[in-house]
Amino acid sequence: MIFLNIAFEAELNRYEDSEFEDVARRHCNEHPDTRNKVIEELRSMVYERGECNPRRIDDAYCLRFLRCRRFVPALAYRLMVRYEDFRRKNAHLYNCDPFELKKVKHVYAGTLPESPEHGRLILMRFGRWDTNAVSIDDVVRCALVLEEIAVQQPKLQILGVTVIIDLEGLSFRHISQLTPAIANQIVSLMGVAFPLPLNSIHLVNYNWILNTFWYVFKQFIPKPIWNTIHFHGYDLSSLQKQIHPRHLPAAYGGYCRHVISTEEWLGKIYEYRDEYLVQELKDLGFTIKD
């Protein structure tokens, strides 16, 4: 429990760790001696081109986008434009209390400790979604909240995330909720319009119904992301070739015991929240009860 409490307190750590400089160089092509110059290049693009009006333009905020695009200002700028466009078009997703989304429960089965190879590992189980109790908007909102909080942590801006999508139990009841607009929102959150690096996506435990599920999504997935998507079916050995068992929970043939449910994660973030986090979430449009 002491270990978990320390880990949750670290979730709110927004400070740059000098020990991560070498990791940032390898993952993001970030160099301390040129970092300020590149940040200024990105900021100048925002002012000069006027395609978006970000709520922040400080160094820490710009770093999110630069790290996600290997410190190429032009690519980081395009990502920022897409992110601001996503926020404008989907303002209703922010209209909620993020800490009440624990009701989404089993869809986001949990998070595992980050590693240098895979970043943070996130488990998603759409087949466990109770469509009668939880709206599709709240399913998307939960992913949005997880990302908006995670991206505030410099370590995760550098390491990114790896997603395992377990489709066991998926039915037409679930797929009928996935309109093109919803699919576009989900794909946008998976690195297309959000400044959190996506290392890879792994789909497991699916049958023929995947064809319908995949048909809805694939039209919104850019070609560069295709190479990050891996289809394993029921072959856990295939998954383990991509992700070492030490990073996987027992359900996938691994031996990682630190799987944190989304309910516990949100509860602990609420417990350890500080004024900065609360204000950031409010500025994004979320409503937070005292």
> What pLDDT does 12 receive?
75
Among all chains, which residue has been given the structure tokens 């970030």? 30
Domain boundaries, the chain: 2-91, 92-276
Q: Give 133's DSSP letter.
A: T
pLDDT tens per residue across all 290 residues of the chain: 445 565 666 677 788 878 789 999 999 999 999 999 999 999 999 999 999 999 999 999 999 999 999 999 999 999 999 999 999 999 999 999 999 998 898 898 878 778 888 999 999 998 999 999 999 999 999 999 999 999 999 999 999 999 999 999 998 899 899 898 999 999 999 889 999 999 999 999 988 877 887 878 888 888 888 889 999 999 999 999 999 999 999 999 999 887 888 888 888 888 888 899 999 999 999 998 76
> Residue 280: which residues within 8 A CB-CB, separation 6 or more?
152
**Helix (H/G/I), strand (E/B), else coil: 34:** coil
Q: How many CA atoms lie within 13 A of 82 on its CB side?
A: 18
Q: Which two tokens stand for residue 116?
A: 């240098």
* CATH code for the domain defined by 2-91: 1.10.8
**Helix (H/G/I), strand (E/B), else coil: 234:** coil
Handedness of CA 160, 108, 83, 58 (dihedral sign): negative
First to last CA, the chain: 26
> What pLDDT does 10 receive?
67
Instruction: Please say whether the beta carbons of 198 and 225 come within 8 A.
Output: yes
Q: What is the pLDDT of residues 58-87, one digit of tens each?
A: 999 999 999 999 999 999 999 999 999 999
Q: What is the pLDDT of residues 201-228, one digit of tens each?
A: 999 998 887 788 787 888 888 888 888 9
Classify domain 92-276 by CATH architecture.
Answer: 3-Layer(aba) Sandwich (3.40)
> Residue 6: which residues within 8 A CB-CB, separation 6 or more?
none
Strand pairing category for 119-124 and 108-115? antiparallel
pTM: 0.92
Instruction: Please say whether the beta carbons of 193 and 79 come within 8 A.
Output: yes
